[in-house]
C-alpha cells in the first residue's frame, strides 16, 4: 500500500488544485485589509462587505482548473499560433463571463440589497468593468500552466535520461556477459582456435580484428544512445564477419539498404541485436545453410528495418522475453515512446522463418545520444 501513496498524493495535489488553493492567500489578505482599513479610517464597513471581498477571490480558485484545462487543450506554444490565440481569447471571455455570473450569485447571497437595479444589469456591468482585469488574470493563469508544464517536462526528461543511462549500462554489461558465457565470445575464440590449428593465420587475424571492433562498440562507455543506420550497419557487418567465419558454409547474408535510409537514426546496437537473435534462433539450430536478409528503407516519416531468416520461425508468445528482446523494447519506449514499434513474427512473404520489423520515427543529423529530440505533443 505504501508504494501507491505517492501516486495517490500526486493525483490529489494536482498543479491546478495547488494553484487554486493559492487563491486562499489573497482572499485572507483581502478580508484582513478590509478590517484594518475600517479601523484606521473610521469608515463603516459591514462584515458582509468584508466577507464578499474575500470570497470573491475564491471564485478564481473555482475557475482555475477550467482555465488549466483550456490551456492544456489549446497551448500557445504549439502551432498554429493564431488559431490557438483566438481559442484562448475566447476562453478569456468565457472566464470573465463565468466570473460575472458567479460574482453576481455571490453578491445575491451576501448583499442582495446591492442588486436593486436588477440582476442582469448588475451582471453586465460587472462583466464590462472587470473585463481588462479578468483577461489579465486569465492570461496569467495560462502562463502559470505553461510554466508548470515546462518544469514537469524538464523533470520527466531528466528521469528518462537517467533511466536510459541505466538501461544502456545494463545492456552493455548484459551483452558482454551473454557473449562470454558462453555464446558469442566463446564461439569466436573457438573459431579463432580452429583457424590457427588449421594454419590459416590470415583468417584468424581477420576474425580477431572484427571481434575487437564489435567488443569496442559494445563496451564504449562514451557511446551515444542512438547512431546513424550507417554506423550501426558497420558494427553489424563486423559481427556478421565473425559469425560467417564460424559458419563458413551455413550462413548466407544479404543486405538491401536504401541509400536514403543510411542517415536515419537508430538505437545503438539495436540492429546488431536483432541480427544476433536471428542467427542464434534461426541459423545456428539448422544443419543445412541458413539465409539472413537485412533490409532498411525510409517510409515517409519513418525508418523501417527488417531482419529476416529462414529458420524454424518464432511464436509471438515467446518474445520479447524468450528471445532476449525485452531490453530492446524498453529502450525503444524510453527513446521514442509509442512512436517506435518492434514486431517479431512470421515472415510477411509466407515463407518459412521469422521476421523482425523495427519501425522508428525518422530522424537524421540529430544530436547524438539525445532522447529529448522527441517531445511529447500537447496539442
**Could you read off the pLDDT of 93-129 as tens digits, one per residue?**
988 888 888 888 888 888 788 787 788 888 888 888 8
**Highest-confidence segment of 47-56, 163-172, 201-210:** 201-210
pTM over the 0.85 mark: no
Q: How confident is the model at residue 43 (pLDDT cuts 50, 70, 90)?
A: low
Q: Which residues pair with 81 in a beta bridge?
A: none
Residue keyed to cell 590459416? 200
| CB crowding 344-373: b at 16 or more within 10 Å, else e | beebeeeeebbbbbbbbbebeebeebbbbe
Least confident of 4-13, 264-273, 293-302: 4-13
> In CATH terms, is domain 182-371 a member of 3.30.499.10?
no
Domain boundaries, the chain: 2-154, 182-371
Q: Are strands 290-299 and 251-257 parallel, antiparallel or unpaired?
A: parallel
Distance between CA atoms of 167 and 151, rounded to whole angstroms? 24
Q: Cα–Cα distance between 111 and 353 in angstroms, integer?
A: 81
* Residue that has been written with the C-alpha cell 466570473 in this structure: 99
The closest alpha carbon to 258, from 305, 292, 310, 291, belongs to 305
Between these two residues, 53 and 296, which has the higher pLDDT value?
296
The pLDDT assigned to 2 comes to 45
Let me know if 119 is exposed, middle or buried by CB neighbors in 10 A (0-12, 13-18, 19+): middle
Name the average pLDDT for the chain.
79
Are 150 and 144 a contacting pair, CB within 8 Å?
no
Mean pLDDT of 194-203: 88
The helix or strand, by DSSP H or E, that contains position 95, with its residue range, turns out to be: helix 81-110
Share of the chain above pLDDT 90, in %: 17
What pLDDT, in 10s, does the model give residues 127-185?
A: 888 888 888 888 888 888 888 888 888 888 888 888 887 777 666 655 544 444 356 77
Q: Look at residues 257, 253, 225 and name the one whose alpha carbon lies nearest to residue 330.
A: 225
373 pLDDT tier (thresholds 50, 70, 90): very low
For residue 200, pLDDT over 80 is answered with yes
Highest mean pLDDT among 114-118, 235-239, 266-270, 373-377: 235-239
- Residue 99 is inside which H or E element, if any? helix 81-110
Span 199-207, mean pLDDT? 89
Asked whether the beta carbons of 108 and 115 are under 8 A apart, the reply is yes
Collapsed DSSP state (helix, strand, coil) of residue 184: helix
Amino acid at each position: 500500500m505504501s508504494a501507491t501513496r505517492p501516486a495517490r498524493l500526486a493525483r490529489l495535489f494536482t498543479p491546478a488544485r495547488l494553484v487554486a488553493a493559492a487563491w486562499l492567500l489573497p482572499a485572507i489578505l483581502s478580508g484582513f485589509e478590509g478590517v484594518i482599513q475600517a479601523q484606521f479610517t473610521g469608515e463603516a464597513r459591514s462584515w458582509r462587505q468584508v466577507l464578499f471581498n474575500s470570497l470573491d477571490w475564491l471564485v478564481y480558485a473555482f475557475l482555475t482548473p477550467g482555465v488549466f484545462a483550456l490551456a492544456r487543450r489549446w497551448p500557445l506554444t504549439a502551432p498554429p499560433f493564431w488559431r490557438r490565440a483566438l481559442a484562448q481569447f475566447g476562453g478569456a471571455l468565457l472566464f470573465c463571463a463565468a466570473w460575472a455570473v458567479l460574482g453576481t450569485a455571490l453578491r445575491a447571497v451576501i448583499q442582495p440589497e446591492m442588486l436593486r437595479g436588477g440582476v442582469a444589469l448588475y451582471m453586465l456591468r460587472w462583466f464590462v468593468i472587470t473585463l481588462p482585469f479578468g483577461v489579465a488574470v486569465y492570461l496569467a493563469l495560462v502562463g502559470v500552466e505553461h510554466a508548470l508544464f515546462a518544469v514537469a517536462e524538464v523533470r520527466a526528461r531528466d528521469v528518462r535520461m537517467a533511466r536510459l543511462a541505466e538501461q544502456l549500462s545494463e545492456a552493455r554489461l548484459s551483452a558482454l556477459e551473454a557473449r562470454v558465457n558462453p555464446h558469442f565470445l566463446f564461439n569466436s575464440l573457438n573459431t579463432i582456435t580452429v583457424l590457427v590449428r588449421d594454419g590459416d593465420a590470415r583468417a584468424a587475424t581477420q576474425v580477431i580484428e572484427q571481434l575487437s571492433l564489435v567488443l569496442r562498440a559494445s563496451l564504449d562507455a562514451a557511446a551515444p544512445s542512438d547512431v546513424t543506420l550507417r554506423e550501426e550497419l558497420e558494427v553489424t557487418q563486423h559481427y556478421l564477419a565473425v559469425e560467417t567465419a564460424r559458419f563458413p558454409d551455413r550462413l548466407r547474408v544479404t543486405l538491401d539498404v536504401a541509400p536514403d535510409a543510411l542517415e536515419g537514426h537508430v538505437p545503438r546496437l539495436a540492429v546488431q541485436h536483432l541480427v544476433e537473435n536471428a542467427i542464434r534462433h534461426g541459423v545456428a539450430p539448422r544443419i543445412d545453410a541458413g539465409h539472413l536478409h537485412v533490409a532498411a528503407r525510409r517510409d515517409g516519416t519513418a525508418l523501417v528495418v527488417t531482419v529476416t531468416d529462414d529458420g524454424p520461425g518464432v511464436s509471438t508468445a515467446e518474445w520479447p522475453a524468450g528471445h532476449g528482446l525485452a531490453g530492446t523494447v524498453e529502450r525503444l519506449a524510453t527513446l521514442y515512446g509509442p512512436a517506435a514499434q518492434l514486431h517479431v513474427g512470421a515472415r510477411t512473404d509466407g515463407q518459412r522463418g521469422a521476421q523482425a520489423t523495427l519501425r522508428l520515427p525518422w530522424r537524421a543529423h540529430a544530436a547524438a545520444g539525445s532522447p529529448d529530440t522527441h517531445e511529447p505533443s500537447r496539442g
